Structures are given as structure tokens and as C-alpha cells.
Structure 1
Amino acid sequence: MDPRTGWVAAMSLAQLVSWGSLYYTFSLLMPALEADLGLNRVEVSGAFSAALLAGGVAGVQVGRWIDAGHGRAVMSGGSLLAGAMLLVLARIEGVVGLYAVWIAIGAATAAILYEPAFAILIRRWPDDYRRSLIAMTFLGGLASTVFIPLSAWLIDAFGWRRACEVLAGLHLLLCLPIHLTMLAGEPPGRARTTAGAAGDAPTLRALATSPAFLLITAFLVGFMAFTSALSAHMVPLMRERGVPAAWAVAIPASIGAMQVLGRVVLFVFEGRIDPRRFDRLVPLLLPAAIALLLAGGGSVVAALAFAACYGIGNGLITIVKATSIAQYVSRERVAALSGLQQPAAALARAAGPILLASLWSATGDYGLGLWVLLGAGLVSAALLRLAQARALPQP
């Protein structure tokens, strides 16, 4: 087996476990946490929002450490922290412990989810990273498909505290060894660039204030809010549109499979697709999905078309977001630049569901919210096109 193939396969498995156990399992833990700790839904869900914000703040320093050549320590430490915090979660007795644990888990996610893994991959293979990056998302895209039923079974069979201990074991006995082994021998860190020296590459400050980077960050924030809002409200949205109850659950569940399908098709045809054209077209799939939903009313066919368009678009936009800095700003500083985006991205991810809920509360339905999402998607897609026009030359 090609060493890179083994590397990508192992890192993908760690992504599957990390996304599944830390991101998708929370909603399954919510009822048990409410009942066992005597908390309400707002108090419990607030812990997850705190984790998202903590991950965004931690992402800045994570990016700098990876840029300095410490990717192995970052991702191994993240797996160790995630496993330890899941063990602590199994023993908490109140709201203070709940928030403390999930804030620490949020910091761990900044070190072990897609952003650090993609940055390390690009550092290792800066001239040939796209196919490997796409392949790494295959298993990650199946995290909800695998871990929602697995975690539900663990909670039902053994209780939520034992389930957390089992998930902790996956981080400590599987992800931690993967990161320790696969990330050995990483490229040396980049030396700090001094401003004003003739012939030097642009400083991090110059890159971070460039129009291309700022436009890409605005694009990222727009689509983070878009996708988080839609994901949080998907089932009630389907029901409000008049989709039959069984389909209202099945259609959102199919989106994960559509994400993987889109990535597989891209992997097969990667060498035949112009990356810049791809980056222009993919973001348009998300507002197109909203347009299908608006035009179709309560039709199951329209809802299925929406799920296919949104799922494929959401799967592919992960690739666009992961490669846009390397392609249009800097391959050498991708880790640090990606880290700088994380606080704004975390705020957008946390705010999206709240903003859509506010529009629903103001009007009594999702109609206005869908039109706002459609407009926001089109504006965000245009921002990336502008970033392409202001792209910095790559060495």
C-alpha cells in the first residue's frame, strides 16, 4: 500500500470517531442529561454552544502550533483531552461540571477535527493535496450514519455514563495511537518572517489582512451560519412544509449519504475539473437547494430534490472551504490562517440557529427565514468569486 494511502485511511478513521463521538452524540445525550442532572433544554444545549465558541477561540493557537511544526503534539493532545473529558463527563453531577467539561471538549475539537487535519495534510504534500483531502472526508461524512445509531444503542443498553466511557476509550485507544503514529516525522515548522526584509515571503499579518483572505473569511462565516441554521431546524422545517412525518425524518437523515456521494464523484473526476470553476459552482448548490424547497411546497419530490442538492453541495463545500486558503492566499501559512478564521466561524455556527429561530418567532413560519437563507447563500457565493479575483500569487 502507498504510504500516503495508509496515512489518509488512518486519519480518516480518527475523523469518523472524533466527529461521531463529540459532535453528533450530543443531541442523543441531551434527554439523559436533562433527566439525570435536573436541567432544562436551554441549560443543556448552552453547554454545546459554549463548546463551539471555545473551539473557535482555541483554533487560533492551534493553527499557530501546527504552522510551527507541532501538529503531532496538537492532535495527540487533542485526542488525550477529548478522552479524558468524556471520562469526566461520565461523573459530573451538575451544571457547572457540564459546562466545564464541554468547554474543554470544545478546545479538544479545535485540535482534532477537519481544520487541523487538513492543514497538516497540506503541509506534508503542498503541491498535491486535493485528492487526499477529498478522500479524508469520506469517513468523516459518515460519522452521523455510524455514531447516531451506535451511541443511541450504547445509551439505551448501558446508560449515558457508561456510553461516555466507551466513547472515551475510542479516543484513548484508537485516535491517540493513530495521531502519535501517523504524525511522526512532520515537516519542520516555518520560521517567523520579519517584516520589511527584501525578498521575504509575506508576513502572517500581511496575509491575514489581504482582500483575498478577508473575502474567504466572510464566505466561510456566511456558509457556516447557513448550514448550522438549516441543520438545527431541518426536521421542524420539513414538517411545516407539509412533508409526511416519516419523510420529515428520513429526508434529513439522507443528507449524510448525499454528502459522501458528492465527494466520491468529485474524487473520481478530480483530475478533469478545473478547481477555480469548481469553487465558483459548488457554493451555488446550497441556495439552489433552498429555491427547490420554496418552489416545491410540501411535495415529497421537491423535498427529496432539496436533500440531494443540499447534501451534495454541503459535502463539496467542505472541500472548497478546506482548500480556498491554500489556493488563493498561501499554502505555507494555511494552518495559522485557518486558525484565525475559527472564532468568527464558531460565532456564525452558534448564531445561525438562533437567527433562524428568531425569524420563525417573528413571522410564525419559516417562509421569511428561507428567503433570507437564499439571499445569504447567494451573497456568500459571490464573496468567494471576488476572492478568486483578488487571489495572491503562489510560489
Structure 2
Amino acid sequence: MLSDVTQTIDPSAPVAGPVKPGRASRPRIHRAWIVAAVAFVTIIGGAAFNSLPGLLIDPLHTEFGWSRGEIGLAVSVDMALYGLTAPFAAALMDRFGIRRVVVVALSAVAAGALASVWMTESWQLMIYWGLLVGLGTGALAMSFGATVTNRWFVARRGLITGILTAAGASGQLVFLPLCAWIVDEHGWRPASVTVALAALVVVPFVALLMRDHPADVGVAPYGGTFVEKPAPARGAAARTVRVLFDAARTGPFWLLAGTFAICGASTNGLIRTHFVPSAHDHGMEITAAASLLAVIGVFDIVGTVFSGWLTDRFDARRLLAVYYALRGISLMFLPLLMGPSVKPSMVFFIVFYGLDWVATVPPTLALCREHYGEDSPIVFGWVLASHQVGAAAVAFLGGAARDAFGSYDVVWYAAGALCAMAALMSLVIRRRGKPEVAVSS
């Protein structure tokens, strides 16, 4: 079978098609797996910075006197640019190549994290954390993994997609406890330097081992036949914008974008940014709160895989409604669970929230495919942008609410109400018997 084929990475080897089992005495690892491994490490390195903002709100507030709203605004700029960059990242990789775009993106993340060590004004936080890191991490978003998967794999695409999606959660699991310990023991500046070094360490691996296309090393994609490398695409960015305008004329797009904006608001914008400072307000140690947040990454992987299994078997709209409703109810109870120590009820919340964290992705993708056919990856890119815009809004508003009310309680209740609204919006999305034709002309 094609999925069982393994080829050598010798550029001089025949490339007319996959090698049949048994033809080679000692088959070597296919180059596609090396590229996938580099992509995995790259996403982990890029995810390092996403672990940091929630840990630095209190230290920056204490040292510089900046309000939590000001700090949250910088985080919101980062999240918004992450989302708005993502739809164009694939187009940039088509035009300039995966390796060049990823090296520049990692360098931007490292530069922003490193430059923040010398900042003294809040506007510098906007530039370093917001602009540089937002653009860099946006280029390493889901579209990066999708591009690697589509170019290098014919067989095992589902497996590779799952592995690369899990890389972000793995990065959170690795860096959250580490950065929390560094902040607690040595201050926020060494933690920021650690993030910069994590991004820079990956750059040589990308430069030496990443390749834009299997034809660059004279092999076929894993499980497929050899294809020539296509010419650089020059109209991909224009198509990305055109698909947005066409999709925006349809009702399902706005419902999907709206529900996913609430998803981002209640995960990255709220929990990832404000859970640690909120727990600290109740007397919990930063390292303990960060460790709880890291545990979400473990159950995030389990929940996403299980949600994909459910999406193949049940109505995606009803799954979304259940996910958002349960998420809203859990957020309403969170203020009652906060305290100086980690109780079993808080552990239950963390496990539950981890299972629900990105469980919304498979049914949202399924509905994009159902309504937009072959344009669905681009449409989903724009829906993902709305996710980050929602996250950006709550990253700022959550900090502003803490400044105004002296507590995060109102933020948790408001987020719970938003999730209830998302549940109702999910049920309003109409069904289609088969995917629409491409919306772009």
C-alpha cells in the first residue's frame, strides 16, 4: 500500500514513483518525516512566547506601574496580528518558500522577546510583544503545519496534522512551568530571554533540514509519486482576499466567525492570559497556577482527537452547541473554585476545560468544508483570524475590567454568557446536503 512505502533521501535515487516494499534491503527514513519533525520543533519553539504573557502581567504592573489594561492591550495586539497574519502565511510560503518564511518568523519572535528586556515604556511593549511577536507567531500558525502536510505527505496526512496540531499544546506544557519558575526565582527578564533563545535555537534546524518541496531533494511525497516543484505562486494573496469577500456575503461565514471569536475570547484571550494573575489574586503561587494551565495542554490533545471522532459521526452544529454550553457553565462556576491552594474541584475544572479547549476546531472545520468546498481552507483561515480577534479583545478588556473592579469575577461571568450565545449561534447555522462550489471565481 502507498501508506506503507518508505523511500530513501538520496537525491540521485530514481524518483519516478514510490519504492515498492521489499525492493530495498535497508530502507532509510523518508525525508518527509525529517521535515515533519523540524516543523514540530518549530511550532514548539514558536509556542514558547504564547506561554509567557499571562505570567508577566503582575511583574510588569509591579515594576513599571503599567495598568493591566495597558499590558492586556499589548497582548491583544499580538493575538490580533497572529490571527490576521495566518490567512496570508500560506501565500507567503507559496511565494517565498517555507524555509525563508519560517526563519524570518522565528527571528522576529526572538527579536521581540529579547528587545523587551530593555523596554521602559508601555508603547515599547506594543512594538516588541504586539507587532514583532504577533507577526512572527502568525506565520507559524496552523497554515504552516497544513502547508508542510500537503506538500510532503500523501499518506498519513491525518496523523501528521494531529501531531503538528499537538505541537502547540506540547510547547505550552514544556514552557509554562519552566517560565513560571524562572519568573518566580529570577524575574521576568530571564524568562523573556529564555523565550528568545528557544526561538533562535530552532533556526539552524530549519535552515539546514527544512526544504520547501520534495522535488528539492529529488524524492516523491511520502506515499505518493514524484511531482515537479511548481513555480512560485504570485496570485495566492489576492485569492485569499477575494475568498474573504465572497464568503462574507453568506450567513454561515458570519455565524462561524462569530462563534469562533467567542472560542478565542474564552480560551487564549481569557484563560491563557488572565487565569494565572486571577489565581494569584486569590493567593495561589504563580508556579502552581502556571502548572494548572500547562495541564490544560495535555487534555487539549485528548479532547481534540475525540472531538474529531465525534464530528465524523454526529451533527457538527449540535456538537458546537454542546461544547460552548458546557464551557459557559464551567466559567460561571470558576470564581467559586479560586483559592490559595489547588483543590480537587479546580483540578476537575482544568481537566474539563482542557478537553473542551480546541474541541471546537474539528466541527468548525467540517462546517467550513460543508459550506465552502475547495475554498474551505482559506475560509477557515479567516475564521481563525476572528478567533484571534476575539482573543485580543478579551485580553485587553479582561485587564481593564480587573483595573476597574479590582477582581476578575465579572470577566468570568461575562465570558460564560458569551459562550451561551455561541451555543445558540451554532444551532442557527443551516445545513447543506453537499459542499458548495468554490466561492471564488
- Which deviates more, 173-182 or 356-365? 356-365
Q: Which residue pairs with 1:214 in the alignment?
A: 254
Task: Flag structure 1 segments of 5+ consecutive residues without an equivalent.
Answer: 196-202
**In 1: Cα distance, 2:103 partner to 2:350 partner:** 36
Mapping of 1:214-363 within 5 angstroms?
A: 214-227=254-267, 228-234=269-275, 253-264=291-302, 267=305, 274=312, 277=315, 280-281=318-319, 284-292=322-330, 294=332, 298=336, 302-320=345-363, 325-326=368-369, 328-331=371-374, 334=377, 336-341=378-383, 344-353=386-395, 355=397
How far apart are residue 183 of structure 1 and its match? 4.5
- Which deviates more, 87-96 or 354-363? 354-363
Q: Which residue pairs with 2:202 in the alignment?
A: 174
SS in 2 for 1:389: coil
**In 2: Cα distance, 1:264 partner to 1:95 partner:** 38
Tell me if the contact between 1:126 and 1:331 (Cα under 8 Å) persists in the aligned partners.
Answer: no
| Structure with a larger share of its residues in helix | 1
Distance 1:274 1:357, change over 3 A: same
**In 2: Cα distance, 1:351 partner to 1:282 partner:** 22
SS in 1 for 2:389: helix
Q: What's the % identity of the aligned pairs?
A: 18
Tell me if the contact between 2:70 and 2:396 (Cα under 8 Å) persists in the aligned partners.
Answer: no
SS in 1 for 2:113: helix
Distance 1:298 1:51, change over 3 A: closer
**In 2: Cα distance, 1:47 partner to 1:359 partner:** 16
Question: Which of 135, 145, 157 is equivalent to 1:107?
Answer: 135
Q: Which residue pairs with 1:58 in the alignment?
A: 85
Q: Does 1:73 align with 2:100?
A: yes
**In 2: Cα distance, 1:64 partner to 1:141 partner:** 25
SS in 1 for 2:179: helix
- Give the partner amino acid of 1:329: Y
SS in 2 for 1:329: helix
Distance 1:357 1:33, change over 3 A: closer
Tell me if the contact between 1:115 and 1:338 (Cα under 8 Å) persists in the aligned partners.
Answer: no
Q: Which residue pairs with 2:116 in the alignment?
A: 89
**In 2: Cα distance, 1:105 partner to 1:311 partner:** 25
Task: Flag structure 2 segments of 5+ consecutive residues without an equivalent.
Answer: 1-28, 215-228, 338-342
Distance 1:326 1:185, change over 3 A: farther
Question: Which of 151, 171, 191 is equivalent to 1:143?
Answer: 171
How far apart are residue 25 of structure 1 and its match? 1.7
Question: Which of 3, 22, 25 is equivalent to 2:52?
Answer: 25
Q: Which residue pairs with 1:198 in the alignment?
A: none
How far apart are residue 37 of structure 1 and its match? 5.7
Tell me if the contact between 1:294 and 1:370 (Cα under 8 Å) persists in the aligned partners.
Answer: yes
Distance 1:236 1:29, change over 3 A: closer
- Give the partner amino acid of 1:213: F
Distance 1:247 1:233, change over 3 A: same
**In 2: Cα distance, 1:211 partner to 1:5 partner:** 40
How far apart are residue 260 of structure 1 and its match? 2.6
How far apart are residue 279 of structure 1 and its match? 6.7
Deviations along 1:114-143, whole A, 9 cap, x unmatched? Answer: 344345535665896443222223332133
Distance 1:136 1:388, change over 3 A: farther
Q: Does 1:185 align with 2:185?
A: no
Tell me if the contact between 2:72 and 2:396 (Cα under 8 Å) persists in the aligned partners.
Answer: no
Larger Rg: 2
**In 1: Cα distance, 2:258 partner to 2:329 partner:** 22
**In 2: Cα distance, 1:23 partner to 1:218 partner:** 23
- Give the partner amino acid of 1:17: G
How far apart are residue 172 of structure 1 and its match? 2.4
- Which deviates more, 275-284 or 141-150? 275-284
TM-score by length of 2: 0.67
**In 2: Cα distance, 1:295 partner to 1:158 partner:** 34
Tell me if the contact between 2:318 and 2:427 (Cα under 8 Å) persists in the aligned partners.
Answer: yes
Tell me if the contact between 2:169 and 2:300 (Cα under 8 Å) persists in the aligned partners.
Answer: no
**In 2: Cα distance, 1:113 partner to 1:277 partner:** 27
Distance 1:125 1:360, change over 3 A: same
Question: Which of 388, 403, 415 is equivalent to 1:373?
Answer: 415
How far apart are residue 313 of structure 1 and its match? 0.6
Distance 1:45 1:214, change over 3 A: closer
- Which deviates more, 25-34 or 214-223? 25-34
How far apart are residue 111 of structure 1 and its match? 0.7
**In 1: Cα distance, 2:428 partner to 2:158 partner:** 22
Tell me if the contact between 2:86 and 2:142 (Cα under 8 Å) persists in the aligned partners.
Answer: no
Q: Which residue pairs with 1:9 in the alignment?
A: 37
How far apart are residue 274 of structure 1 and its match? 1.2
Distance 1:258 1:89, change over 3 A: closer
Deviations along 1:232-283, whole A, 9 cap, x unmatched? Answer: 443676799xxx9659985774354344335246648966861654674256
How far apart are residue 30 of structure 1 and its match? 4.5
**In 2: Cα distance, 1:322 partner to 1:337 partner:** 9
Distance 1:333 1:185, change over 3 A: farther
Distance 1:7 1:208, change over 3 A: farther
Cα-Cα RMSD: 4.5
Tell me if the contact between 1:86 and 1:168 (Cα under 8 Å) persists in the aligned partners.
Answer: yes
Tell me if the contact between 2:265 and 2:394 (Cα under 8 Å) persists in the aligned partners.
Answer: yes
TM-score by length of 1: 0.74
Tell me if the contact between 2:59 and 2:188 (Cα under 8 Å) persists in the aligned partners.
Answer: yes
